[in-house]
Structure 1
């Protein structure tokens, strides 16, 4: 995973062609590692990606006494038999900019009766309020004390099942409730839950551990608390967000990429849009081939939404391809209010993207409008040229890579370490696909 430098120089204008592999999803593997805290016996997680977010969770588990071994590539054995309280400074140091520590709350309250959460970081793509998490934990009976450097939680009377309705189907808050409710006394009813494939895979893990979780229609989940849980053996769901990113790279660079591990059933909404833009794909048992078939790309209108809608993580890489479409495309971002920061660099490279910070109100919509949403209007095709770019966030950073690979001339991209948070061995994969680049410095 380690990078030679945090700066890369790309010489673009060359199609990406070849075969690469995606493995376990960042948004599942890290949560599955946290779930191991709930078991009385060791857990085995397979297809774990070699990304920095996994290393963050690994460090956090280690300082809490979880013994972690690597018997094979992409496989972790997590033994929680000696879980202990960690010092606040250690948690803060290991967490870095990650927001994953908040999901330790429920499991640690069950195991130790307390949890410490530092100030939370993460990608600067918009407000990710922790109120949903704290309100849910209070509903279970946790006492939340905020201080200048973080949050201290206790559960002097244990955690009890609760009736919880989320204001928005937040993935993180849904995970919080699941990880807390499975050992809480009584029944928990969660309404307006997220139902992403990674959530379903986490539920499958919890069921393997001995949990009783029923997924009902209309985003309702019932969890019957049990006395104890065992460890699990599980192979992580493949990373659909990484697969979509490579698909967008194939489209933007007029390339042809076979993404081993990509699953049609997890990408159906993306595949529909990919085809409408003018891309083609062939579904195989072991993956999906994404390619530009020639001809003109077409403009589209996209509204991001929670699953099964068009995921917000898909729009940033695809926007680069839309700069090459003939006509005007519109992307309505309804999940994060600052996710169009990355378009400034694209405009510096020659794109014509106008961001409407209050969204576009007088248009026909399928997804309900949210107060803070924004819209981007992309007019194309526009030739892209090389530029100096600083990566702002994970998906935006990969989008900048795609733009540099699409552009004529040389681009220097700094802060590329952020990309390693969610894209396993992306440098090696770029080499396999024939990209022309070097590390600076």
Structure 2
């Protein structure tokens, strides 16, 4: 039997406690930021996930000394000996993560050169790096595309720019922040992403000595400084993982307390959770607080929702929630406006007994980039559906966790293939499942 297959016996409520640590979508970017500093940095509450391992390997290839601290989840970074890494060494990581593109600005500042291999990540749409490359060129970078990857240089240094994004892309906003902080002059970024992870990255850069102003209407102004130091930081908790466990509680008629979850980062999700009929209770204890999520019994209610950039309903929240919506009494509508290919996972749910139809039309009022482009980016979910066990193959990180929730909610025993992909973003998920009373085995 493959080690990458999880045997899941479903049909029982998940009950108990789990803990979330630093947000995957912040920690890896903060690790990249350490390259900008002239002195060591320390991060706490770093989750043990595959993405952290990948970025740690990339940093170490470039001469950053990364060590484990005295506390569980503590990482220390010493960037004093940043150096070029060999193309062959970097290519070992080709296809394993999309984080390397964010190293461009920091490496150009530190070394005057950067090499970026082929980029990986989840297959939920092309997510082109055009925004990144266009912005880097505007800063003064020269980009040479070769079969092995991208070679970048900055013969005249990097200089501040005035730049407006066509779409408030998180990745492009991070790229510009990480490049602008040491660029000469002032950078003004319009239509920027303002997700909580972006604001937390700005807090980190400010700790390092950056001057960054967040104005109204998605405008961020960065005044370049000549040098940056290190930082000590505890990242915001992972709101995606927290919502995933909340959706699992709904789908399995369970009761899960997510220690570390924070209301401020999840208000939009909490509103939808309550609209469906879920109950939650918030404990603001700064040491051991969190949010308890539970199914109160009775019918769940259908909803109509649209994903959007912050402060809208997060795209990474929708796949786990759709599993719960298969148990709602009536028709739910979900309009995906962020990634065009995010409903591929629904075919497996239909094989399990769900009733989900996907459409090319925009079933909602939010302006959408995908209308009339042929992408099936809206879904109608009819429930309640009795889910039954089957064999599942995980296509990407968030869909993978959704498949896992479906297997836990279904009657019978499922075989879930490709579960190691879940390790990219969910720390110790098998141990957490065991703590919640799930019956799973390799």
Give the TM-score normalised by structure 2: 0.97
Contact between 1:25 and 1:239, CA under 8 Å: does it hold in 2? Answer: yes
Deviation, 1:69, is 0.7
- What are structure 2's unaligned runs of at least 5 residues? none
Equivalent residues in 2 for 1:335-350, closer than 5 Å: 335-350=338-353
State how far apart, in whole Å, the 1-side matches of 2:43 and 2:88 are: 28
Contact between 1:161 and 1:225, CA under 8 Å: does it hold in 2? Answer: yes
Match of 1:61 in 2: 59
State how far apart, in whole Å, the 2-side matches of 1:287 and 1:375 are: 32
Deviations 1:411-434 (A, max 9, x none): 000110110000010000000000
Deviation, 1:149, is 1.9
Contact between 1:327 and 1:381, CA under 8 Å: does it hold in 2? Answer: yes
State how far apart, in whole Å, the 2-side matches of 1:118 and 1:376 are: 35
Match of 1:359 in 2: 361
State how far apart, in whole Å, the 2-side matches of 1:39 and 1:109 are: 13
Deviation, 1:49, is 0.5
Match of 1:298 in 2: 301
State how far apart, in whole Å, the 2-side matches of 1:80 and 1:97 are: 23
1:402 and 2:401 are equivalent in the alignment:
no
Equivalent residues in 2 for 1:269-418, closer than 5 Å: 269-285=268-284, 286-356=289-359, 358-360=360-362, 365=365, 367-371=366-370, 372=373, 374-418=377-421
Deviations 1:133-187 (A, max 9, x none): 0011011000011111211100000000001111100000000000000000000
Deviation, 1:369, is 2.2
Runs of 4 or more consecutive aligned structure 1 residues displaced over 6 Å after TM superposition: none
Deviations 1:47-73 (A, max 9, x none): 100000000000000000000110221
Deviation, 1:359, is 2.6
Deviations 1:390-426 (A, max 9, x none): 1000000000000000000010001101100000100
State how far apart, in whole Å, the 1-side matches of 2:41 and 2:199 are: 18
Equivalent residues in 2 for 1:18-417, closer than 5 Å: 18-71=16-69, 72-285=71-284, 286-356=289-359, 358-360=360-362, 365=365, 367-371=366-370, 372=373, 374-417=377-420
1:9 and 2:7 are equivalent in the alignment:
yes
State how far apart, in whole Å, the 2-side matches of 1:117 and 1:99 are: 10
Q: Which moved more, 1:408-417 or 1:89-98?
A: 89-98
Deviations 1:13-50 (A, max 9, x none): 00000001000000000000000000000000111000
Paired residues, what number?
A: 432
1:431 and 2:434 are equivalent in the alignment:
yes
State how far apart, in whole Å, the 2-side matches of 1:195 and 1:248 are: 25
Deviations 1:344-387 (A, max 9, x none): 1100100011111x233xx551x212225610110111100000
Deviation, 1:96, is 3.8
Deviation, 1:288, is 0.2
Deviation, 1:437, is 1.3
Contact between 1:60 and 1:95, CA under 8 Å: does it hold in 2? Answer: no
Give the TM-score normalised by structure 1: 0.97
Structure 1 vs Structure 2 CA RMSD: 0.9
State how far apart, in whole Å, the 2-side matches of 1:189 and 1:50 are: 35
Tell me the SS of whatever aligns to 1:90: helix
Deviation, 1:127, is 1.5
Contact between 2:9 and 2:439, CA under 8 Å: does it hold in 1? Answer: yes
State how far apart, in whole Å, the 2-side matches of 1:275 and 1:347 are: 25
State how far apart, in whole Å, the 2-side matches of 1:182 and 1:423 are: 31
Contact between 1:353 and 1:379, CA under 8 Å: does it hold in 2? Answer: yes
Tell me the SS of whatever aligns to 1:94: coil
